[in-house]
Structure 1
Amino acid sequence: MNTTVKFKDMKFNTKTIHGGQQHDPSTGAVMPPVFQTSTFAQTSPGQPIGDYEYSRSSNPTRSALEEALASIESGAKGLAFSSGLAATDCLLRSFKAGDEIITMDDLYGGTYRMFTKIYKDSGIKFHYVDMNDLDNVRAVINENTKMIWVETPTNPLMKLADIAAIAKITKEHNIMFAVDNTFATPYLQRPLDLGADVVMHSATKYLAGHSDVIAGALIAKTAELGKQLHFQQFATGATLGPMDSFLVLRGIKTLHLRMQRHCENGEKVAQYLNKHSKVKTVYYSGLESHPYHEIAKKQMSAYGGMVSFDFTSEKKEDAISFLEKLKIFTLAESLGGVESLANHPALMTHASIPEEKRLEVGITNHLVRLSVGIEDIEDLLQDLEQALK
């Protein structure tokens, strides 16, 4: 019996639990089983018993996750990868030598490393522009431009790109438009509904939400693009295993609840830091002082749990001392888990970006990035206070 829930206008909070999902047809299991198998039996050569032949091509547990990904992002096809960078790599395999890609000047360090160290040598040209002024985008578009890639909000400076406005430009020039939606998640922002062609996630972060899995995702707006990306994934092999797929799917089912608390705590942390004498600038799009606040109001339903700030003293030593004194915030790479994490981008997540380039875009040596978790806000504020002292 097919028990897939098919409400035409299912609300987002319901989608996270039921979207694209069905009870296991053989047992009635409410959660999809972990199909820990590499291959599937066939009755005759080329005639599998069911829909599956080999787990690199597809696996029932991964398929359940991919259906959920497509549902929450309002896409036609979801794909689950072994990491966010593997997902990015799969998308970039759509392009060849001579093609050009326009991207933001503030990027996750791993994305920048891939663009500059791997694909630059393949003959693909990248343009890094400040997309606050869309004339910067228009100025570098030419006949070789094949894609615009944006993070919004960016890592770690929380810059925003106007998704709908950029989508209009890409449609005019027949250019693919990809959005890294890791920081916002579909709970806060839905790029495909705003005109993007494909969404990327480091599902390691908020989608999984518990700091216990490495995963990535692509969600294509059309079935045609989804089919192309699936072939590229199948041919190169960076797929997500069944147990990891199960963990990400489990995380998605509480995404809406976790994001509510991440947003509440993030806003209060940003407001607290914004009033502190030792803090020079707070980077959080929910603050009216943030230069991209109006864009955030237009395309996001709330402002998330990521907060960056730098020190009034402009000393790296103050940032390091602060990070070493934290007790509830854990000094660690990554973000988006239920626990609060703190990070020094210049020495950690963005160390692969040359210092002159970091400083050019504003990633100073006294910049700190916080992933505000879902703990009690009073404990988090007390921890920040004692560390700042």
Structure 2
Amino acid sequence: MTDSKLAPEQSTWLKNGVAASNGSAGTPTAQKQAKAQAPPRGFGTLAVHAGSPHDPTTGAVIEAISLSTTFAQSAVGKPVGEYEYSRSSNPNRTNFENAVAALEKARHALAFGSGSAATATILQALASSTSVGPPLDSAAGDRASIATAATDDKAHGSSHVISVSDVYGGTHRYFTQVAKAHGVRVTFTPAIEVDIADHITPATRLVWIETPSNPTLRLVDIAAVARTAHAHGVLVVVDNTFMSPYLQNPLELGADIVVHSVTKYINGHSDVVMGVAACNRDDLHKRLAFLQNAGGAVPSAFDSWLAHRGLKTLHLRARAASGNALAVATELERRTDLVRAVNYPGLDSHPQRDVARRQHREGMGGGMLSFRVKAGRAAAERFCQYTRLFTLAESLGGIESLVEVPSSMTHAGIPREQREAVGVFDDLVRVSCGIEESQDLLEDAIQALERATAEVLAEAAAANGNGASH
């Protein structure tokens, strides 16, 4: 995956962007000419400039925050510009959506009030037992025709979604408790590349992938799954939160929709709760946009502005976090006296390392890893309390490093037998590496692990000694 080629969809970065930075350059004609002449741009250039207009009146380099909820109209039903009401659209949200579309090499992107809101909208739009919103376009090509039948014409009643087993706890909760109540049946599989065809039924509408998965860092071959799903007329959605657009572009690999919790790497500063979905098909965009507006789960102008500002440094942060995670994972893997197993796709020992090399930029593993503490659950919990730089907290993808125990925190709502079936044991620690110095993170992780392990083993030895004396 390289920056050398600009996908046709990436010309959207000029919309309300660099082409508008100088007076007449912002006119529709000038923008079209600029798009036609736009040379290929690298990721970092797109991140800085996509959806970032210079104010044509004041020349301000950074966009203003548009707090107005409503916009004047020159006559009844005739807005002065392209905006009417901020739930439907807002300049800051539009600019952010254009930027994400450029980085995900998509034609369209839609922002939501959270990643969970984006997930809910996709399920409601495409997997509910009754269709919601504008119809999908059966004239958009063979694959689109098949997918249209898959989402509009299948028998009414319970619809069906296939998902990887080890999904984010919030996604699992929505699938099993909310979507189920709305007539959506979900099949979870730990080997989706192998058995997807066996699970597809006439009612199957979507395949849902997280890659890497949360928190076990399993990978899914997106292209392989997409080929099988599309052959059966089923749409593919990929949660790309762990990788971010910098490290992986699922649409290029065959996915129909890519979704992110913007809260994580895209924003990157732990101060915004947002979500986003991106796609190439106009009909999918229209249906999702209808529900975005009708449901109203949209981000504020200020949150959109903050997330857009964070996105501009994504390439720098994601690369630094990935380097730190590799350093920490390598050292943890070496410490077999303290660690039972390490899950990190950047390690050569990862069982799907070849998939990482194909799907990820430069084969990088990203900023997330998880590991099992050899001394057990008590040591895992104490490790998280004894770190000095890593903060014990949920969430991920910020500039600061975090640790947590998924079985008691982010994945506590998933039954034990289901958790353990996919590797989420009580002794598993999830780590989100930030952008600190790698040596400092290494030293902090090891001192906390050594201290926690020594204490737990000493307590166990003392307990055994006391038991033997009675």
The TM-score bracket by the shorter chain reads over 0.9
Q: Which amino acid is the alignment partner of residue 371 of structure 1?
A: S
Q: What residue number does 2:366 align with?
A: 304
SS in 2 for 1:210: coil
CA contact (8 A) 1:325 1:387 kept: yes
**Deviation by residue 1:63-110 (Cα, 9 ceiling, x = unmatched):** 000000110001111111110000101101122232111100100000
Q: Which amino acid is the alignment partner of residue 269 of structure 1?
A: V
Q: Is 1:126 matched with 2:157? A: no
Q: CA–CA distance in 2 between the matches of 1:96 and 1:8? A: 42
Q: CA–CA distance in 1 between the matches of 2:194 and 2:273? A: 37
Per-residue deviation at 1:170?
A: 2.0
Q: Is 1:225 matched with 2:287? A: no
Q: What residue number does 2:338 align with?
A: 278
Q: Aligned runs of 1:83-232 on 2, under 5 Å?
A: 83-94=114-125, 95-97=127-129, 98-131=158-191, 134-232=193-291
Q: What residue number does 2:392 align with?
A: 331
Q: Which amino acid is the alignment partner of residue 43 of structure 1?
A: S
CA contact (8 A) 1:188 1:300 kept: yes
Which ranges in structure 1 are unaligned for 5 or more consecutive residues?
none
Distance 1:329 1:186, change over 3 A: same
Q: Is 1:69 matched with 2:137? A: no
Q: CA–CA distance in 1 between the matches of 2:296 and 2:217? A: 32
Q: What residue number does 1:295 align with?
A: 355
Q: CA–CA distance in 1 between the matches of 2:195 and 2:76? A: 56
Q: Which amino acid is the alignment partner of residue 306 of structure 1?
A: M
**Deviation by residue 1:225-264 (Cα, 9 ceiling, x = unmatched):** 1121111100000001000000100011000111111111
**Deviation by residue 1:252-311 (Cα, 9 ceiling, x = unmatched):** 100011111111111000001001121010000011111111111111111111010001
CA contact (8 A) 1:32 1:64 kept: no
CA contact (8 A) 2:175 2:186 kept: yes
Q: CA–CA distance in 2 between the matches of 1:388 and 1:130? A: 30
Q: What residue number does 1:320 align with?
A: 381
SS in 2 for 1:234: helix
Q: CA–CA distance in 2 between the matches of 1:140 and 1:260? A: 37
Q: Aligned runs of 1:44-59 on 2, under 5 Å?
A: 44-59=75-90
Picking from 17, 29, 54, the partner of 2:60 is: 29
Which of the two has greater helix per residue?
Answer: 2
Q: What residue number does 1:367 align with?
A: 428
SS in 1 for 2:258: strand
Q: What residue number does 2:320 align with?
A: 261
CA contact (8 A) 1:148 1:175 kept: yes
Q: CA–CA distance in 2 between the matches of 1:227 and 1:65? A: 18
Equivalences, count: 387
Q: CA–CA distance in 1 between the matches of 2:392 and 2:281? A: 40
Q: Which amino acid is the alignment partner of residue 15 of structure 1?
A: L
Q: What residue number does 1:39 align with?
A: 70
Q: Which amino acid is the alignment partner of residue 364 of structure 1?
A: F
Q: CA–CA distance in 1 between the matches of 2:257 and 2:60? A: 32
Q: CA–CA distance in 2 between the matches of 1:362 and 1:336? A: 22
Per-residue deviation at 1:31?
A: 2.0
Q: Which amino acid is the alignment partner of residue 100 of structure 1?
A: H
Q: CA–CA distance in 1 between the matches of 2:102 and 2:328? A: 32
Q: CA–CA distance in 2 between the matches of 1:207 and 1:306? A: 14
TM-score scaled by length of structure 2? 0.81
Per-residue deviation at 1:23?
A: 1.9
Per-residue deviation at 1:134?
A: 2.3
Q: CA–CA distance in 1 between the matches of 2:118 and 2:366? A: 23
Picking from 380, 384, 388, the partner of 2:441 is: 380
Q: CA–CA distance in 1 between the matches of 2:188 and 2:385? A: 34
**Deviation by residue 1:95-152 (Cα, 9 ceiling, x = unmatched):** 2232111100100000000000101111111010123x52311101121111101000
Q: What residue number does 2:303 align with?
A: 244
SS in 1 for 2:446: helix
Q: Is 1:10 matched with 2:72? A: no
Q: CA–CA distance in 1 between the matches of 2:350 and 2:322? A: 16
Per-residue deviation at 1:171?
A: 1.9
Per-residue deviation at 1:21?
A: 3.2
**Deviation by residue 1:168-203 (Cα, 9 ceiling, x = unmatched):** 112211211110000001111000111111100000
Q: CA–CA distance in 2 between the matches of 1:56 and 1:230? A: 11
Q: CA–CA distance in 2 between the matches of 1:115 and 1:260? A: 32
Q: What residue number does 1:356 align with?
A: 417
SS in 1 for 2:85: coil
**Deviation by residue 1:39-67 (Cα, 9 ceiling, x = unmatched):** 11112221111110000000001000000
Q: CA–CA distance in 2 between the matches of 1:147 and 1:24? A: 42
Q: Structure 1 segments of 4 or more deviating over 3 A? A: 2-6
TM-score scaled by length of structure 1? 0.97
Which ranges in structure 2 are unaligned for 5 or more consecutive residues?
1-22, 130-157, 451-470
SS in 2 for 1:192: helix
Moved more, 147-156 or 352-361: 352-361
